[in-house]
Amino acid sequence: MTKATTAIECRAVELNDLAWADFPSSLSKGGIKWKLLNVAPELGSWAAIFDCPAGSSFASHHHIGPGEYFLTKGRMEIRGGVEVGGETVTAPAYGYEATSAFHGKTYFPVDSEFYMTFLGPLQFVNEEGGATVALVTWDRAEAAWLASQG
């Protein structure tokens, strides 16, 4: 019997088999590096691990879909950090960021590392609800990763 769809491939990734690549400096500051671990087009999702030196940060963005993270090392200030109503988490920590969550400046006060699965794209903006500066879909993330692999 002919199948109407193609089966999805399973995948396992040994992290030490991948080299860290520079995360685009247009979307971050302070030398953040990343490893793209998977993309799942059927879900519009992508999964990555990020190496974030002390003082680094991600530019302002909305999560178009929800995301789950696991902070494996260090400390992360999300949605401004706890002083302004957001979260400050210290490793090991898990978090769920809801659809449309606005992250004005995700900041790492100490050397940190976290894994995150993104269901749907990241919309980079200059302000909450602002015009799109960059839309990082699963396929844009994959293209950026492949370009970094030379």
Query: Which stretches of the chain bind Zn ion, using CB under 5 A?
Result: 103
d(C-alpha 115, C-alpha 108), whole Å: 14
Closest CB 103 distance from Zn ion, rounded Å: 4
Closest CB 97 distance from Zn ion, rounded Å: 6
Instruction: State which residue, 35 or 103, has the beta carbon closest to Zn ion.
Output: 103
Closest CB 108 distance from Zn ion, rounded Å: 12
Closest CB 143 distance from Zn ion, rounded Å: 20
| Dihedral of the alpha carbons of 92, 97, 102, 106, in degrees to the nearest 10 | 10
Instruction: State which residue, 33 or 103, has the beta carbon closest to Zn ion.
Output: 103
Instruction: State which residue, 90 or 99, has the beta carbon closest to Zn ion.
Output: 99
d(C-alpha 1, C-alpha 9), whole Å: 20
Instruction: State which residue, 85 or 150, has the beta carbon closest to Zn ion.
Output: 85
Contact 70, 114 (CB under 8 A): yes
